[in-house]
Amino acid sequence: MLSKNMEKALNEQINAEVFSTYLYLSMAAWFHSQKLAGFGHWMEAQAREEWEHTMKFFHYVDERGGRVLLGKIDAPQAEWESPLEAFKAAYEHEKYITGRIHELVALAREENDYATENFLQWFVTEQVEEESSTGRVVDQIEMVADSRQGLFMLDRELGARGRQG
């Protein structure tokens, strides 16, 4: 059984994960409006991953006898100055989510909630990958700088995320 404090914190994380989904969908829409379908596809895939994270938390709270309570979701940013600025924002958001996960782990340890600490280890590992993948794209965009050809090639590469063949 979850403590009320842990239940509240996990519900707040569910809300943060839903916002992440919403943010990445907003980024996908912006990239599509900029005629960068590959970048948009990458963000759509990211949004799907965030929804999967949401549901992991949702089911965990339920399985531990807690009550899922959904909070208000703020509208995400809708415009960025450039692809680089959008990916820098995604990278910063992933670092923020990492911090939230670490706070949950600390709370689980404080409460001797070993089951929740164990559950959260998947997210600790996942956030390493999330920060790495968004940071890598930031680095790649910075490498191509103002090269339209480089941006075109990167758009094609990002559009291949999760596709077979």
* 100-to-13, 54, 61, 155 alpha-carbon distances in Å: 8, 14, 17, 31
Given a cut of 80, whether residue 163 has pLDDT beyond it is no
Average pLDDT over residues 5-19: 98
CATH architecture under which domain 4-159 falls: Up-down Bundle (1.20)
SS (H, E, C) 37-96: HHHHHHHHHHHHHHHHHHHHHHHHHHHCCCCCCCCCCCCCCCCCCCHHHHHHHHHHHHHH
Residue-wise pLDDT for 44-90, tens only, equals: 999 999 999 999 999 999 999 999 999 999 999 999 999 999 999 99
| Phi, psi values for residue 112, rounded to 5° | 55, 40
- Whether the pTM exceeds 0.85: the reply is yes
Residue-wise pLDDT for 17-50, tens only, equals: 999 999 999 999 999 999 999 999 999 999 999 9
Q: In this prediction, what percent of the chain has a pLDDT beyond 90?
A: 96
DSSP state of 161: T
DSSP state of 153: H
Given a cut of 80, whether residue 159 has pLDDT beyond it is yes
Residue-wise pLDDT for 85-125, tens only, equals: 999 999 999 999 999 999 999 999 999 999 999 999 999 99
Domain ranges within the chain, ordered by starting residue: 4-159
